[in-house]
Amino acid sequence: MTSIHLKYLAVNPVDLEWGLAVNSVGRQEIEAGTPYPPANHPTRYLFSPERGRVLNEYQLLYITAGRGSFSCETLGRDRRIPVNAGSMIMLFPGEWHNYHPLEETGWTEYWIGFKGPQADALVEKGFFSKNRPVMEVSFQDDLLDAYSRAIKIAESQKSGFQQALSGLVSSLLGFAYYHNRNRSFSLTNTDRLMAKAKMLVSEQLFSIDPKGLADQLFVSYSSFRRTFKEYTGFSPAKYILNLKIDQAKEMLTNSPAEIKEIAYKLGFDNTDYFFTVFRRLTGQTPLSYRAETQGRKL
């Protein structure tokens, strides 16, 4: 059994002002048939699989081998959520939880414990939730690399190590969200549908409309709109409009075309509407944007 435990990492007031501070980071392999937690587990984080525990920090665990189960207060103490190789578990401060590997398989786990307003904000905005503590991310090199780098930085504890660890926590949270979100889409036809939709928009930007886009994909507009917004964060109409404004920015900066000509080419009904949309999305008029990006005064 190979373990790396780095506990009681120093956190000073400046570290907390950064927005994230790391309390612990580590890795351990639990062989099949061995007790959990092992005798060399950090005493600060020990818990009994019969009783569970409550922490005063967040922890993000990554299971890279083996199988086990997880329980928490929010989802019910008696509910056992399966945990497999490729699962990540988010632990929340003040939340009772319990987890352990199956005796017949053991497991390999990486973890990092942290706290700070940046993590609180991500939870408050719904990116992570006590209702969704287990994320399926599969085996990802970027996650393993971030944990390994965090362990190395914590071992040296050079000046500014907390800020470096904070950046790695942000990366881990971002990758966890990214991989979990896209895994659910990859289990359906959504990835291919969205890729084709984006290609069609790119090829027909000046003429396409949301309803026509759904028709070309042979799907109903209502279901397409719902799926597109869930996948991209934009409705199809807003997505197309944002791309048009991006194209307008490039034309205003790099071409001598008149604004009326640009609006017409991008498929806007009239120049006034183009002015209104451009200002709403950029905070500037097309005229002021052109003058600013071309380095001249109005």
In CATH, 3-186 is 2.60.120.280: yes
pLDDT tens for 144-174 read 999 999 999 998 889 889 999 999 999 999 9
Domain ranges in the chain? 3-186, 190-293
pTM equals 0.72
Confidence check: pLDDT of 102 > 90: yes
CB distance 273 to 259 below 8 Å: no
Per-residue pLDDT of 13-56, as tens digits, reads 788 889 999 999 999 988 898 888 776 555 555 566 778 899 99
Give the pLDDT score at 190: 82
| CB within 8 Å of 291: residues ≥ 6 apart | 297, 298
- Residue 185 backbone phi and psi in degrees, to 5: -70, -35
Q: What DSSP element (H or E) covers 144?
A: helix 141-156
The pLDDT of residue 139 is above 80: yes
For the cut 50, the answer to whether the pLDDT of residue 1 exceeds it is: no
The CATH number of the domain covering residues in 190-293: 1.10.10.60
Amino acid at 60: L
Q: Are 233 and 225 spatial neighbours (Cβ–Cβ below 8 Å)?
A: no
Q: In this structure, which amino acid lies at residue 75?
A: L
Mean predicted lDDT score pLDDT of the chain: 89
| Residue 6: closest CA among 29, 20, 21, 27 | 27
* Mean pLDDT value of segment 187-203: 84
What is the Cα–Cα distance from 94 to 176, expressed in whole angstroms?
Answer: 22
SS3 111: strand
Residue that wins the pLDDT comparison between 30 and 1: 30
Distance CA 120, CA 93 (A): 10
Per-residue pLDDT of 207-250, as tens digits, reads 889 999 999 999 999 989 998 998 888 899 999 999 999 999 99
What the block records as the tokens of 39 is 């005798």
| Average pLDDT value for residue range 89-98 | 96
**Residue 112: per-residue pLDDT:** 95
